[in-house]
Amino acid sequence: MKTLFPYIRRLAQKTHVLYSLVTTGHPTHSMKKIAFKCFWPNFTTTDQFYLFAEFLHANFHITVTPDERDADIVFYSIFCSEPVHLDHTKKNIFYTGENLKSARWAEYKMIFPEHDKFDFYIGFNRSLSRNTLRAPVFLGRKYAGNSPFSTLRQLQKPRILVPKKKFCIFLQAGKSESQYREKFCLDLMRYKPIECPGRILNNCQPLDNNRLSWDNKIEHYKQFKFAFAFENSVAPGYTTEKLVEALLGNTVPLYWGDPTVDVDFDKKTFICRSDFGSDNEMIEYIKFVDQNKDEYEKYFMNPPLISKSLADERRYIDFFAQFLDKK
C-alpha cells in the first residue's frame, strides 16, 4: 500500500490543478519544498550560489527545507562521505561543477548512483537532452552586483582596452592535478617576472583567495596584460570561472583546458594552448604578442562570448519549470 502513496499524491495534485483551472481560469501554483544534500561546506541557498539562491527564489514558488525527507525535490552535489541512496518518490536533481572523470574524484562512483538514476542533471556537459542543463560553475556567481546572465551579456560586446603596467598574473589557491599549470608558469617566468599572489608559487604580497571576493579579484587583474586561466583538468565543456574572470579583468587570458572552449568563447580574445604544438611554441607567441602593441590590441577587437544560450536566462527558467512552478 505504501508504494501507492506517491502516485495517489501526484494524482491529487493534478486533480487540484485541473479543478482550479476550470473554476478560475488559472492553475493553482503549488509551493515546492526543495532540499540540498551533499553540497560543499558552508553552502547556503541565500547568498552564496546564484543559480540555486536568487534565481530560483525570484522565478519559482519554492521553499527550502533542511531535511530532504520533507522535500518534494532534492538537489544533490558531490561532497558526500557516505553512499547516497535516492528516494524515487521525489524528484532527484544532480549538480556538479567539477570534472568527475579526473583522478581527484576517483572515489566518486563508490558514493553516488549513476547519473541516469537522477531525474535531472545540471553540470558542464554539452547535451541536448531535455533533462540536462549545461550550467558551468561561473553561472553561480554575481559580479559587481550583477547576475551572471547580465555579466555574460557584457562579454557579447568587444572589451575596452586600457593601459597596463604589469606583464602577467598567476593566481591559484590550490595545486592542479598534474601541476602542469605550475610548470608552464615557471617556464614563462624565464622571460619576465610573473606575479603569483596566491598560495601556489607565491612570490609577492599574498592575496587570501578564500576571502578575496570575485569582484576584487577581477579588479586586481586589470593591472596585467596577461592572466593565467589554466583549468585543473581537461574535459569537453569543462570551462570554469578562470577564463571568465580573466576576460572580465580585461586581460588576455592564457588558457588551457576545455577542448571545445571555442563553442562558447572566441579564440581571437585569448591565447589557447591547444592552438600550439608545444609549450615552448606558445611561450614564444606570448613573447611576440607582449612585444607588439598592434598584435596585443587585436585581442580586444571581438566579443569574447559567442554563445547565445549561456547568457539566455529563459533557457534556465524553461529547464527548472519542468519540475517547479513559475511565478
95 CB-near residues (< 8 Å, 6+ apart): 52, 75, 76, 77, 122, 123, 135
Q: In what order do the strands lie in the sheet with 91-95?
A: 62-64, 32-37, 73-76, 91-95, 120-123, 132-134
Give tens-digit pLDDT for 78-104: 988 888 899 999 999 999 998 888 877
Where along the chain do its domains lie? 31-144+312-320, 157-300
pLDDT at position 129, please? 87
CATH of domain 31-144+312-320: 3.40.50.11650
Give the bridge partners for 62, in sequence order: 32
Fold match between 31-144+312-320 and 157-300?
Answer: yes
pLDDT at position 5, please? 46
Weakly modelled stretches of the chain, pLDDT under 70 = 1-29, 44-48, 109-110, 208-214
275 CB-near residues (< 8 Å, 6+ apart): 267, 282
Angle between helix 241-248 and 214-221 (nearest 10): 60
Per DSSP, 312 falls in state: -
Q: How far apart are CA 185 and CA 181, in angstroms?
A: 6
**Which CATH number does the domain 157-300 belong to among 1.10.10.60, 3.40.50.620, 3.30.1390.20, 3.40.50.11660?**
3.40.50.11660
Give the bridge partners for 230, in sequence order: 256
3-state percent helix, strand, coil for the chain, nearest multiple of 5:
35, 15, 50
Tell me the CA distances in angstroms from 300 to 42, 161, 297, one per residue in order: 38, 6, 6
Q: How far apart are CA 41 and CA 67, in angstroms?
A: 17
Give the bridge partners for 95, in sequence order: 122
pTM of the entire structure?
Answer: 0.86
Give tens-digit pLDDT for 137-194: 999 888 888 999 999 999 999 999 999 999 999 998 877 777 899 999 999 999 999 9
User: Is the four-CA dihedral 156, 161, 167, 171 of positive or negative sign?
Assistant: negative
pLDDT at position 277, please? 98
pLDDT at position 15, please? 47
Measure CA 289 to chain center: 29
